[in-house]
Amino acid sequence: MKSDLSTESRKSKEEKKVLRKQLKASHTLLKHEGVCTTPQPTKSLVIANGGLGNGVSREELTAVLQEMGEVEKLLMPPHKPYAFVTFRSEDGARKAHANLNGWKLQCGESSITLYLSYVDSVKCKEGASVPLPEGLALVEHFVSPEEEAQLLNVIDWSPTQGDVTAQKSLKHRRVKHYGFEFRYDINNVDKDKPLAAGLPDECVPILQRCVEQGHTNVLPDQLTVNQYESGQGIPPHVDTHSAFEDTILSLSLGAKTVMEFRHPDGRVAAVVLPERSLLVMKGESRYLWSHGITPRKVDMVPAEAPRADAPTEPGIQSNLTLSRRGTRTSFTFRKIRHEPCHCAFPSACDSQGAPSPSPGPSLPSCPADAARLEEEYVHRVYSTIASHFSDTRHTPWPRVCHFLSSLPSGSVLADVGCGNGKYLGVNADLVGCDRSTALVQICAARGYHAFVSDALSVPLRTASCDACISIAVIHHFSTAERRLAAVKELVRLLKPGGQALIYVWAFEQEYNKQKSKYLKQIFKEDHGEFSSTNLLSEKSQKSSGEKVSDLSCHLENSHKPSDMQGVSRVPDARLSVHTNRTAFTSQDLLVPWHLKGGKSTVPVFHRYYHVFQQGELEHLCAQVSGVKVKSSYHDQGNWCVVLHFSII
């Protein structure tokens, strides 16, 4: 693997770019991570972008490093986008520095560019791992591969009528209940209404084993089966105290995953659940800690066997690697509780007067609800975050600029939902409007023409504009009717022959095997519309998690429970909270915004989004009379259309 980057003769443009990026990376490392680099060659290097947090596995990274020289150790701190390598000799480090700066590492479907800088010493602050929550036990190899196959066979996921489309279009975990149905709308079980189907017979020997081995004293009478495809998860939650007895047993089948336990004081413990293992939750771990699975396709797990070439230091939990998720099915066995709960954790106990977690916003069911949802989860949020939002939005998207500059000068142009006026500066013919006064004030302060109005009712005359743009606005409307009304209103402004450009956020963040910038690595300028700032900060991740648990966004959204047995794909209309920089798991969701500061005290705001599936935007626009979709494309994680309006 020779890279022409090392050939001294040509100081090519490419070389200069790499150097610039390398400097920028070391600057970012210092500023956000306290990693101090040095210009003097040493034996150790920090490898920006080459971290577990960026989807780089230990194996992939080791392979390229070993070609540079003998590796003494490779430290990969959990969740971080960088790694540290120490070579046996300075010579190896020099070689790596010369040859791997700007190197594109192929990781699964995406390629990651590495930037290396020397460091004096390698420190890894990510200290001792958090001990398991009190009352939690994990029993590995609890069932045999034969039993595993047998249990997986018991579950009939075959779609019932009406379920087919939901199954195809929405990427949600599947849920099926036996014994009693857990109702996500009331967060409890209907104890007077047992389901026709009791627990499958195949479960009996497994449950007897649980009793024999002392994991539980009573036989469970309720079973919930969840199936998670790679990329799916479940928001953090505590199983309702008044619904179930103390012990909860959960079998993992088919594939392993990582479950996160969170204590109200902020402690987080990530527990790897191998396939065929049994998780036993009792006491504090069942009553006080929340548990959840972050939707993602790759987990960080301890490397299987210690590697000779990369020994770990005692006490430092950096011997991690990545494991790609497969389809995991969990069997969770619980015993219905018939008396109020008297646990020792009243703060989390609904039987003892703790407020049952507020249900969080749901998808609107009437127009007034929709307006209220948008008011609280779009307009109020933009007003609050306006100046921070504006600071993160300077780079106009090239293809939008291209559209704007292709219009003849002297055109009448409107930007509906103009935000901080990012595009108003691109073409002086534009007038902007936005719902947020705070953002319009920013436009005005920059000398742009702008006013406050709603995109559903724009105070401009019918047929007065040569072209209109609506960039990243229509995904904030919470019903299909309102999204259609927004397109109609935009088209109403057009003269015959006029054009409109619409961008909305795409459900498909990976398109043509390209990850959008939103998902991509972080040592790059943030071009993305939807970048939130603290992606380096662990804290912000946690705080979003906490938010999830208090919203109790129990499950993903939309579509009703589908059949008698209690099979449902999406048992609740509650909106799920998105984990920033991960793939979407539902189309209607709340996206956290972390204000600058990254302190855990800084509140997190949630914006409502409806992310569009491929073809959905075209379909929406086709319903407006006189409109032709001139072109449509995927650009930076958005679905985009150019519309042409003519009198019919």
Ligand X SMILES: C[S@@+](CC[C@H](N)C(=O)[O-])C[C@H]1O[C@@H](n2cnc3c(N)ncnc32)[C@H](O)[C@@H]1O
Contact set with another protein (CB under 8 A): 371, 409-412, 428, 431, 433, 435, 437, 440-441, 444, 449-454, 456-461, 464
Among 240, 312, 436, 636, binds ligand X (CB under 6 A): 436
If one counts every other C-beta atom within 10 angstroms of the C-beta of residue 309, the result is 12
Interaction between residue 341 and Zn ion (CB under 5 A): yes
Q: Which is nearer to ligand X, 515 or 607 (CB)?
A: 607
The answer to whether residues 329 and 227 touch, using CB atoms and an 8 Å cutoff, is yes
Please state the closest distance from residue 427 (CB atom) to another protein, in A.
12
Quickly list DSSP for 493-547. Answer: TEEEEEEEEEEEEBS--EETTEEPTTTS-SSS----TT--GGGG-HHHHHHHHHH
Q: Which stretch binds ligand X (CB under 6 A): 22-30, 325-333, 413-421, 560-568?
A: 413-421
Segment interacting with Zn ion (CB under 5 A) among 75-83, 342-350, 371-379, 591-599: 342-350
Nearest approach in angstroms of CB 584 to ligand X is: 16
The one-letter amino acid code at 205 reads: P
Please report the sign of the dihedral spanned by the C-alpha atoms of residue 610, residue 473, residue 512, residue 99: negative
Distance separating alpha carbons of residues 508 and 511, to the nearest angstrom: 6
Among residues 244, 382, 518, 639, the one that binds ligand X under rule CB under 6 A? 382
Which partner from the list ligand X, another protein, Zn ion, none does 459 bind, CB cut-off 5 to 8 Å by kind? another protein
124/315 Cα distance (integer angstroms): 10
Among the residue ranges 89-97, 299-307, 429-437, 506-514, the one whose residues contact ligand X (CB under 6 A): 429-437
What whole-number distance in Å separates Cα of residue 68 and Cα of residue 70?
7
| By CB under 6 A, residue 418 contacts ligand X | yes
Rounded to an integer, what distance in angstroms lies between the CA atom of residue 540 and that of residue 597? 10
Q: Is 578 in the site for ligand X (CB under 6 A)?
A: no
Q: Which of 45, 143, 259, 378 binds ligand X (CB under 6 A)?
A: 378
Closest CA to 470 of 493, 495, 490: 490
Cβ-Cβ contacts under 8 Å for 241 (sequence gap 6 or more): 287, 337, 341, 343, 348, 349, 350, 351
Q: Residue 236's Cα: distance from chain center in Å?
A: 14
Q: Per rule CB under 6 A, is residue 624 in the interface with ligand X?
A: no
Query: Residue 417: which of ligand X, Zn ion, another protein, none does it interact with, CB under 5 to 8 A by kind?
Result: ligand X
Q: Tell me how far, at minimum, the Cβ of 556 lies from another protein, in Å.
A: 31
DSSP β-ladder status, 465-471 and 413-416:
parallel
Among 98, 272, 316, 343, binds Zn ion (CB under 5 A): 343
Cβ–Cβ < 8 Å for 221, 338 = no
Contact residue for ligand X among 245, 434, 466, 556 (CB under 6 A): 434
- The single-letter DSSP state of residue 627 is E
- Candidates 40-48, 342-350, 434-442, 639-647 — which segment interacts with ligand X by CB under 6 A? 434-442
Q: Which does 444 bind (CB under 5 to 8 A by kind): another protein, Zn ion, ligand X, none?
A: another protein
Question: Which residue has 């009190």 as its token pair?
Answer: 134
Residues in contact with ligand X, counted by CB under 6 A, come to a total of 17
CA distance linking residue 645 with residue 202, whole number of Å: 62
Decide which of another protein, ligand X, Zn ion, none touches 378; Cβ closer than 5 to 8 Å per partner kind.
ligand X
492 near ligand X, rule: CB under 6 A: no
Q: Does 454 bind ligand X (CB under 6 A)?
A: yes
Stretch that binds ligand X, among 133-141, 160-168, 270-278, 416-424 (CB under 6 A): 416-424
Minimal distance, residue 348 CB to Zn ion, in Å:
7
